Structure 1
Amino acid sequence: MTIDPGATRGRPSPSRSSRQRGRVALRGRRRRRFAHARGTCLAPSWQATTGAVLNLPPPIGAPEAAGCLLGLALGDALGAPFEGSPPRGPEPIDRLLAADTSLRWTDDTHMMLALADALLARDLTVDPQHLGDTFAQAYRHQPWRGYGSGPPRIFAMASQGRPYVEAAASLFEGSGSFGNGAAMRCAPVVVAGWPDATRIWHLAAEQARVTHSHPEGVDGAVLLSEVLRLAMATPPAARLTLDGTTADLPPLRSAALQGAWDALRDASASAERAKDRRGLLELARDLGTSVAAQASVPAAIAVALHAPDDVVDTVRAAVGLGGDTDTVAAMAGAITGAHLGVASIPPRLLGRLEARERIASAARALARASQANGH
């Protein structure tokens, strides 16, 4: 699959938009789960839910937080060289894993760190204008990180006095971006809102609207934040599944993403019953790895559930799918890292990862602030 560089993190290129804006094609019984017309919105969902604190796990610790953020950065850096490639075997990624070169990440991690900084500066809340300014400052400092066309356009409009949320909503003829950019960076909100599920969903949606106002862009971030929350709540020795608390996630506004989520939960349950997780990787292939949130967010979750016991195996499987490899691997790596903790990431790879201490420091600061605030 070839990805339009100008559309990365935003809207897919016009030549592909009809396919990516259509229904997600799944084989057999799964195809029927995606019969909703793309863009159809359900009634407002998570916004109407208040005060839900699910399962009340212990306070978030630095190992889980660091595992999540560093897993994201590692997946981003390992997936970046293969972005836009077709599906491939393990040999190229294995060569990269065996090398001793530095691992440099892209705008995925860059925006994740900016989000962490903005949360810490605003007492773990999302101030849209401040967050937008933080994103814009990060972009101006390092515009070569691989940003797509959407964020710079938003930053330019904001520099002329337009609010960020309004500028984001004006993109793509007023529909906003349905890309995966808001989901890819959302890991810090899980630490900031821990353990209140509703608060996490709210933070995920609020940070999304600064750049991605389409229901799929927002819901993609909400959905990934919920799976990251579940991963952090699941002890490393326990199997990561979608059973239990995720049933409390209210309906998503995007019918297409809701259909993907339903199919994903079915596939996860079937894998547990059969003790065979190969079907989850097949589902990830069916969903696709485009920049559209309705495809790549559930695909990344499926990959993480397919290979939940090793961060490197998770990232390897994600890269093998091709397409938007850096973002899919970043999201999948964040899930497995959140579940297993930072100790699960091989020290040799951490030693090669760009700005690893900066990322770990942000994770520790978020965990301390979350504990201090009683979240």
Structure 2
Amino acid sequence: MLDRAVGALGGLALGDALGMPTQNFPRSVIRERFGVVDDFHPGPDDNEISRGLPAGRVTDDTDQAVILGRSFVAGGGRVEPRAFADALLAWEERMRAEGSLDLLGPSTRRALALVAEGVSPDETGRWGDTNGAAMRIAPIGVGVPLAGIVDAVEQASRVTHHTGVAIAGAAAIAAAVSSGVEGRPLAESLAHAIDAARLGAERGSYVPGADVATRIEWALHLVGASAPPAAAERARPDEALDLVYRLVGTGLATQEAVPAALALASLYPGDVWEACRHAASLGGDCDTIAAMTGAVVGAHVGWVSVPAGVRARLTAANPGLALDGLAEQLISVRSGAASRPR
């Protein structure tokens, strides 16, 4: 279980780092320049967000997931909204001081501005519908048993993304991670993700948007995940990436990014490296999509499945992340939650 927990957090960081240089590029540019991303690359000069970053460096996706995970551990299995908001604001200030342009997303920034004005955390997230909640939710999936995942996701997302759309997307990713950590196969975990998205959609404030659970089902069918592995109708990887990019979408919208990530995970259920490098080749918000894909697949195959050289280079490029220790703390919280009477 601990290796799968580290796999979820490490897979998130791996996908994030692979997608760092390609984020916000159209798929045509990525195909021309990289083909399918084959390794860590530095941020290109023409990428206004990631230029100047060294190869293997993670972005806001991993940083904010770690902040959320640490907040969850510090709260003994709950995220204290004001403390979490303060931690995110402090992180953004550090990033600004370092000259980074990879800062808070639109929903999080709007919510935290309201927190700073004294608005109650119960109200600040009522418009947050983009994928920020889902991108950083993997630690909740590690730290919470599947049976309690939707409640935990809503609680952790309340301050910035307390809408049905955002909670549905985050619940889907967290459920898939939690199921994987518990040792279930990915196909079963994807079914749990869809169920969690349906339940999550009933929480929080209403904002207009397509149903996340339905779009996950559609995306999985689109790439052939619901067909037998040898079926002729199963899309080839290059075709699948084009279908996800053109039809599912790879933007900031939760109902695009989450179905895209789970579709990619379904194509590479046993190989987190392949899953992440293909997700990083999608285009659009592909660092976030690859991070979610990596978290889901990594929760099923574990961190030891990733080549040792890749793990070593990722660690060297991001000293201080300490994902092993965070995973161990999250599993400890999870074990305590599982032992408590319901």
TM-score normalized by the length of structure 2: 0.79
**Residue aligning to 2:47:** none
**Residue aligning to 2:51:** none
Compute the displacement of 1:259 (Å). 2.2
Compute the displacement of 1:218 (Å). 1.8
- CA displacement 1:159-182 (0-9 Å, x = unmatched): 23222342333xxxxxx1321110
Counting aligned pairs with the same residue, the percent is 29
Compute the displacement of 1:102 (Å). 4.6
1:258 and 2:207 matched: no
1:374 and 2:323 matched: no
Compute the displacement of 1:128 (Å). 2.2
Compute the displacement of 1:185 (Å). 0.4
| 8 Å contact from structure 1 (residues 187, 228) kept in 2 | yes
Compute the displacement of 1:147 (Å). 2.5
- CA displacement 1:198-218 (0-9 Å, x = unmatched): x11111122222212332222
**Residue aligning to 1:63:** 3
**Residue aligning to 1:136:** 89
| 8 Å contact from structure 1 (residues 78, 326) kept in 2 | yes
Compute the displacement of 1:291 (Å). 0.6
- Give the distance between the partners of 1:185 and 1:73, measured in 2 at CA: 11
TM-score normalized by the length of structure 1: 0.73
CA RMSD of aligned residues (A): 2.8
Cα 1:265–1:320 shift into 2, 3 Å: closer
> Aligned letter for 1:132?
A
- Give the distance between the partners of 2:132 and 2:329, measured in 1 at CA: 23
Number of residues of Structure 1 aligned to a counterpart in Structure 2: 304
| 8 Å contact from structure 1 (residues 188, 366) kept in 2 | yes
Larger mean Cα displacement after TM superposition, 178-187 or 209-218: 209-218
**Residue aligning to 1:17:** none
**Residue aligning to 2:273:** 312
The alignment partner of 1:229 has SS state of helix
1:190 and 2:151 matched: no
Larger mean Cα displacement after TM superposition, 303-312 or 150-159: 150-159
| 8 Å contact from structure 1 (residues 136, 155) kept in 2 | yes
Give the one of 350, 355, 362 matched to 2:326. Answer: 362
**Residue aligning to 1:161:** 118
1:274 and 2:227 matched: no
Larger mean Cα displacement after TM superposition, 157-166 or 76-85: 157-166
Compute the displacement of 1:272 (Å). 4.4
Cα 1:78–1:146 shift into 2, 3 Å: farther
Give the one of 193, 203, 220 matched to 2:152. Answer: 203
Which ranges of structure 2 fall in alignment gaps of 5 or more residues?
43-53, 203-208
- Give the distance between the partners of 1:232 and 1:156, measured in 2 at CA: 35
Compute the displacement of 1:283 (Å). 4.8
| 8 Å contact from structure 1 (residues 67, 338) kept in 2 | yes
Compute the displacement of 1:83 (Å). 0.8
Compute the displacement of 1:110 (Å). 1.0
Residues 90-169 of structure 1 aligned to structure 2 (within 5 Å): 90-91=34-35, 93-94=37-38, 96=40, 102-143=55-96, 144=100, 145-169=102-126
Which ranges of structure 1 fall in alignment gaps of 5 or more residues?
1-60, 170-175
Residues 277-288 of structure 1 aligned to structure 2 (within 5 Å): 278=236, 281=241, 283-285=243-245, 286-288=247-249
- Give the distance between the partners of 1:83 and 1:245, measured in 2 at CA: 29
> Aligned letter for 1:73?
A
